[in-house]
Structure 1
Amino acid sequence: MIPAMPATATTARQASVTAMRFGRVAAMGVLAVLILFAGVWGSWGTAQHVMLTKGRERGTFTVARCDGDVCEGPFRPVSAGARARGSAVIEESVAVRRGLTYDVVVKPGTDEVVRSGPAGVLFAWVPFGGALLLASVVVAGGMRLTRVAWLLAGAGAALLTAAFVVL
Structure 2
Amino acid sequence: MSETRTLADLKDLVAGTPAAPEAAPKREPKRDAQGRSYATGRRKDAVARVWVKPGKGQIVINDKPAAKYFARPVLRMLITQPFLVADRYQQFDVMCSVTGGGLSGQAGAVRHGISRALCNYEPELRAILKKAGFLTRDPRVVERKKYGKVKARRSFQFSKR
TM bracket (short chain)? under 0.3
| Structure showing greater relative contact order (alpha-carbon pairs closer than 8 Å, 6 or more residues apart) | 2
TM-score by length of 2: 0.28
TM-score by length of 1: 0.27
